[in-house]
Amino acid sequence: MSPRIALPAESDLVLWLKGRDERGLRVLYDHYSAALYGVIFRIVNDRETAEDVLQETFIKIWNNAAAYDVGKGRLYTWMLNIARNSAIDKVRSKDFRDAGQVQSIDEFVYSIERQHHHATAIDHIGLKKLVEQLKPEQQQLVDLLYFGGYTQTEAAEALNIPLGTVKTRIKAALTRLRQMMNG
């Protein structure tokens, strides 16, 4: 295993990628593969499939680096969109759907019961309506952290905001939710 390469300035990284310098791909993989894998896994919900989609994602990033436009957003956001779209494409594919049909009946029933119970529990206590009363940026974080299973670091990266901002906003959101629940 090669040593982890330090994260260069985004402009340097883009130059490496557009110049087909493999250092760029290694740096991206070292620094972003775990976050992209987490996003992919949440969509496909299968470890082996998520690993395959992650590999496909990095191939797409490498092959389409020339199409990346700095003026349209940050590199991580562009990569995140490629990962998310690749995962969605995989879930919609016939092969993936067919493979899902061989899921054992016990796994299927458990999955449905868990989804139903989770949705019912949230609706039962009225949490969903309370969350809808928060500021949009707070709603987004509550959705990611508590309903989407993101860590604070993953949410910061996904939203392209500092970790401290995530912590401040989620603390304010939880304080506001407590106030609303207490009356």
| 123 shares its domain with 87 | no
Domain contains 4: no
Are the CB atoms for 83 and 157 separated by under 8 Å? no
| 75 shares its domain with 117 | no
Domain contains 3: no
Distance CA 127, CA 88 (A): 28
Distance CA 163, CA 168 (A): 9
Amino acid identity at 98? D
80-104 pLDDT tens trace = 889 988 988 888 877 666 665 444 4
The pLDDT confidence band at residue 75, using thresholds 50, 70 and 90, is confident
4-40 pLDDT tens trace = 555 677 778 888 888 888 888 888 888 888 888 888 8
In 3D space, the residue among 81, 83, 92 whose CA is nearest the CA of residue 34 turns out to be 83
| 48 shares its domain with 122 | no
Domain contains 149: yes
CA–chain centroid gap for 157, Å, is: 9
Per the structure, the complete domain to which residue 131 belongs is given by 104-182
The pLDDT confidence band at residue 119, using thresholds 50, 70 and 90, is very low
| 69 shares its domain with 141 | no
- CATH number for position 65: 1.10.1740.10
| 116 shares its domain with 81 | no
Whole-prediction pTM? 0.52
